[in-house]
């Protein structure tokens, strides 16, 4: 039996066909025994894995969703009775209990078979900052494997296990996925417990998932997204807007100065965007300058003191096995003052507000995960600069409270060390996975909601005070239009903000009125209609080109004190005249 490269479904099929969990796990342990140096920290968890396999073989309940599926975890996560090192020998302790994410997976029937290497204290994106060795890049031995979740990514890329856990604060769950040609899923911060995980930056830490298929990564992320009262940084989920039927993908309008994409990365990215467009997505250019400015704060401001808070005491003591580069980074936190900390918090608040409007126009932002690759030799010569380069397109994501997933770019039959990073607002995890699966399979993204078109007449027009009620519902602009000449337009009295009233009149007694068309899902349309105040209502509006849609009309009772402004031909022309 050789389970190399098996998916979660492959393990389930093997058990349906009579394979024992003991045999499958023994075969997996043999793969781990032969793993390259630097993938694992310590030996495979042989005794623990075999004991759990034997228990499952004698269990009458085979309904658990991850029954007998092996996995590995980054060694900053606790596994009961096993050492946790966080990549530093002098920091080692034996865990009293499982980290919450590990416990949830084991409860679902999965079997933890090893602990994986990492950039020490999860501080780095290169995968070389560990006294336990450097895992090999599975696609090009000259390249770094990426970090900090280096061992977890390489274990999955080699096919040793179907999925692995990592963590992601600055890109640690995305960069190594991209550089090894696999899937890396980073959930919304606060949706998955970090209890039992050695912190890097507690506010921004997030467990992440590596897999070879999007469906496997999404299943694991769903399994571990369970409320945990022991983690005070967890948050209650809020409803997520579904993607538009034709998702709107933002791409950089230009590449900012200092961000150098390699020729191959640019080619892979352009091909990926063309693939998304062929799947039915709309492509919109956006400015990413503010995003990069935000990301630069993670290591280039007083925020680094948060890393020092997490493990700085161990570094100050000079414990055994400290990585020189990591120790230098963590020591910088002592140079920061409380004033520095408040300044960066104010700046981060400004940047969050300034960049939020981007999501009114797009569903998802698409970026390369890294601007280019880097070799082991280049990192040896320039450990800080090359690490910074790898994170230019990832470090802003958690600071801005966004969700992300990485899927391989290039020819799917010939993996390349490049990943397409799909990013969306918090709690959009399931929608991102749906889009990523479409990209992965090449199947057009399916529509789950019938779209409803709305005729907008007044304060909801683009740029006007109530327009946000449309963008909050992810409405899509369908262009401008004119009604038939059977309508009159009035400026209503006493409305705040000012609103017009559109009234249907006898044929020939009105004029064509300029309107905008916006479409949204049925549930969004329903919530919108519920919020329409009297004397306005939603009725059927006839357009000059023969189409008809639901839109804003006004009851006769609302015209008391109103001013007839039909001659202006539309609300926007009227308010422009008012100054």
- Tokens representing 347 are 């700046």
Which position among 130, 148, 150, 208 bears the catalytic label? 148
Q: What CA–CA distance (Å, rounded) separates 66 from 62? A: 9
**Residue 213 annotated to the active site:** no
Q: What CA–CA distance (Å, rounded) separates 516 from 165? A: 47
Nearest to 537 by CA among 457, 419, 434, 461: 457
Residue with tokens 């590449």: 255
Asked if 74 contacts 167 with a C-beta cutoff of 8 angstroms, the reply is: yes
**Residue 527 annotated to the active site:** no
Asked if 359 contacts 241 with a C-beta cutoff of 8 angstroms, the reply is: no
Q: What CA–CA distance (Å, rounded) separates 552 from 557? A: 15
DSSP-assigned letter for residue 463? T
Q: Which value, in Å, is the radius of gyration of the alpha carbons in the chain?
A: 27
Neighbours of 463 (CB within 10 A): 6
Which position among 152, 172, 193, 355 bears the catalytic label? 172
Q: What CA–CA distance (Å, rounded) separates 303 from 32? A: 37
Q: Return all residues near 387 (Cβ < 8 A) that are at least 6 apart.
A: 124, 125, 126, 379
Q: Return all residues near 44 (Cβ < 8 A) that are at least 6 apart.
A: 29, 32, 33, 113, 114
Q: What CA–CA distance (Å, rounded) separates 110 from 211? A: 14
Just list the catalytic residues.
74, 148, 172
């Amino acid at each position: 039996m050789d389970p190399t490269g098996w998916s979660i479904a492959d393990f389930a099929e093997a058990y349906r066909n009579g394979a024992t969990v003991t045999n499958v796990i023994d075969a997996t342990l043999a793969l781990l025994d032969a793993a390259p140096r630097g993938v694992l920290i310590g030996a495979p968890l042989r005794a623990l894995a075999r004991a759990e396999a034997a228990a499952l073989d004698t269990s009458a309940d085979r309904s658990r969703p991850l029954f007998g599926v092996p996995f590995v975890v980054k060694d900053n996560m606790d596994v009961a009775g096993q050492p946790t090192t966080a990549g530093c020998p002098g920091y080692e302790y034996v865990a009293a209990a499982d980290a919450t994410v590990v416990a949830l997976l084991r409860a679902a029937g999965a079997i933890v078979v090893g602990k994986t290497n990492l950039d020490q204290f999860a501080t780095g994106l290169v995968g070389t900052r560990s006294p336990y060795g450097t895992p090999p890049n599975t696609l090009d031995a000259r390249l770094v494997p990426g970090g900090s979740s280096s061992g977890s990514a390489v274990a999955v890329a080699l096919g040793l296990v179907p999925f692995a856990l990592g963590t992601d604060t600055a890109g640690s769950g995305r960069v190594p996925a991209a550089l090894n040609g696999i899937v890396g899923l980073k959930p919304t911060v606060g949706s998955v417990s970090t209890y039992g995980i050695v912190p890097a930056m507690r506010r921004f830490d997030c467990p992440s998932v590596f897999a070879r298929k999007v469906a496997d990564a999404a299943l694991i992320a769903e399994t571990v997204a369970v409320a945990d009262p022991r983690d005070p940084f967890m948050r209650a989920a809020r409803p997520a807007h579904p993607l538009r039927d034709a998702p709107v993908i933002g791409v950089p309008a230009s590449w900012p100065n200092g961000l150098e994409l390699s020729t191959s990365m640019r080619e892979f990215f352009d091909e990926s965007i063309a693939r998304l467009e062929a799947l039915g997505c709309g492509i919109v250019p956006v400015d990413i300058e503010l995003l990069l400015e935000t990301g630069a704060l993670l290591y280039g401001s007083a925020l680094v003191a948060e890393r020092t808070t997490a493990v700085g005491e161990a570094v100050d003591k000079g414990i055994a096995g400290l990585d020189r580069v990591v120790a230098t980074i963590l020591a910088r936190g002592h140079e920061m003052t409380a004033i520095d900390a408040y300044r960066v918090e104010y700046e981060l608040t400004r940047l969050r507000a300034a960049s939020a409007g981007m999501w009114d126009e797009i569903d998802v932002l698409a970026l390369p995960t890294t601007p280019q690759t880097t070799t082991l030799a280049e990192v040896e010569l320039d450990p800080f600069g090359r690490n910074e380069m790898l994170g230019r397109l990832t470090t802003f994501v958690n600071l801005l409270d966004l969700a992300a997933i990485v899927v391989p770019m290039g020819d799917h039959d010939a993996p390349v060390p490049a990943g397409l990073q799909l990013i969306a607002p918090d709690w959009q995890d399931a929608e991102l996975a749906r889009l990523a699966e479409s990209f992965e399979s090449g199947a057009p993204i399916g529509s789950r909601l019938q779209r409803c078109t709305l005729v907008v007449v007044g304060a909801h027009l683009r740029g006007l005070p109530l327009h946000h009620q449309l963008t909050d519902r992810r409405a899509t602009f369908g262009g401008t239009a004119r009604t038939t000449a059977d309508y009159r337009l009035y400026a209503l009295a006493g409305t705040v903000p000012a609103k017009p009233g559109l009234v249907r009149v006898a044929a020939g007694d009105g004029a064509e009125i300029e309107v905008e068309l916006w479409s949204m899902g049925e549930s969004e349309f329903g919530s919108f209609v519920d919020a329409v105040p009297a004397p306005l209502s939603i009725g059927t509006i006839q357009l000059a080109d023969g189409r008809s849609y639901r839109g804003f009309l006004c009851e006769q009772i609302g015209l008391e004190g109103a001013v007839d402004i039909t001659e202006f031909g539309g609300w926007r022309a009227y308010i422009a005249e008012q100054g």
